[in-house]
Structure 1
Amino acid sequence: MSANVTPEKNEVRISVTDRRRRRSESERVQAAQAIALHAPAVAALVRARRVAAYLSMPSEPGTGPLLDWLTELGTEIVVPVSDSDRTLDWVAYAPGEVVVGDLGVPEPTGPRLGESALHACEVAIIPALAVDHGGNRLGRGAGYYDRALVDFPGVTCALVYDDELRAELPHEPHDRPVDLVLSPGGLFRPTRGLV
C-alpha cells in the first residue's frame, strides 16, 4: 500500500456508509439474526468466559441477537465507552442499561472498568465498515479500536454485511488486522487468521 492511503480509505468509507443508510429495516434485522446464528461456529467465542463486544448503531450489522446469545451462554460481556481523548473504557454489559453517548454511539451506563478490562477478554467483537481477505479492517477513521487493540492477546472478530467483505482494502501499518469476520453469510477466516 502507498504511504498515504487516507483518500482511498475515505472513498470506501463514504461508499459503505451510503449503502448502509439505504438498507431496509428488514434487511438489518435479518442480518443481525443471521450473524447470531453463525456465532457458534467461532470456537473461541463458544469457549470464552469474557468477551468484549459493542452496542451497534442502527446502520451497522446489529449486535443485539449476538449479545443475547452470549448472555444465554453465561458469558461475561464488556462493551466500550468512548472517552474524549479517543480511547475506549469498558463497562459490564447489562441489557437495557444504554444511553446515546457524546459521539452518537450507544453506550452502557454502568461503572467503568478501565482500559485494561479489554485484556481480560478472550475475544473482541469489533465494528468495521469493511474487511478484506487478508483481515485488514476499515473503521470509521478515529482509530479508537486500532489503539485499544495494540497489545490485545485474544481473538478479534469483525462484524460486517456480506458485501463489505472485500478482496482488498487500502490499509496502513498502524491498522490492526482481525482474525475472523462474521457476516450474515457466515464465518470467514482471513488468510492471515490464526483461529
Structure 2
Amino acid sequence: MKTKATTMKTKARITLFGLVMAIALCYANFASAESNFATGGAAGSGGAGAAVNLDFQIVIPQFIYFQVGTAGAAIDQITFTPTAAEVANATAGIAGAGGDLGTGIVTVSLVSNAGGVDITESNNSLGAGLGDGAGNFISYAQINTATNDGNLPAPVLSDGGGTSVSIPVTVGTITNRQAQWTYTYDNPATPPAAGTYGTGGAATGGRVTYTAAIP
C-alpha cells in the first residue's frame, strides 16, 4: 500500500522530470534558431564541427553635398569697385574682391550618390536686379561667372532667376566634382547712378542662392 509520503515523492519526481524536459525543449528550440551543436563529425572531418550563419545589411541614404565659397554656415561676399574711368568707358571684366579664395573666386564642391545633379540660381531681388535702395538697379546679367572645370559650370546669373545647369556623374551614380568659380563685372553701356548696389537685404536684392537638386 502506498503511503501518503510515497505518493507525494512520486508527484514531486514527476513534476521535477516535467520541469527538466521543459527546460531541455526550450534549450533545443533556442539552439535550432541561431546556434548549432555537434558531436563526432562527418567522416574525414577531423573531429566535431558546428556551422552558424549571421546576416549583415548596410543601408546608405541618398545625399547631396554642395559648397560654394567657405565651407559651413559662413556666407561669402563678392564686391566690385570699378574706377570712375572704368564706369565711364563701360569697361568689362572687372575683377572682384572677396570670396574664400580672394579676388572674387570661390571654392565649389558637389558630391552626390544619386546620379547627376542640377544646379539652379535664384536671388532675392524679385526680378529687379541689384538695387541701391533709391530706385536704381544694375542687372545680374552684368556679373559673369567662369569655371576652371567644364564638368562643374555655374548657371548664368539672371534677374528673374531659374537658370540651371546639369552636372554629369563622375562614375556610375556618383557625382564628385570640384572647381573654382571666378566672378567678374561688366560695366553697362549707360553708367549707373553713384551708390552701393546689392548689399544683401530684401530692398537691394544682393543675395544669390544656388540650389543643387536631383533631377
| TM-score category of the 2 structures, normalised to the smaller one | under 0.3
Larger radius of gyration: 2
Normalized per residue, the structure richer in helix is: 1
Taking structure 2 as the reference length, the TM-score comes to 0.22
Taking structure 1 as the reference length, the TM-score comes to 0.24
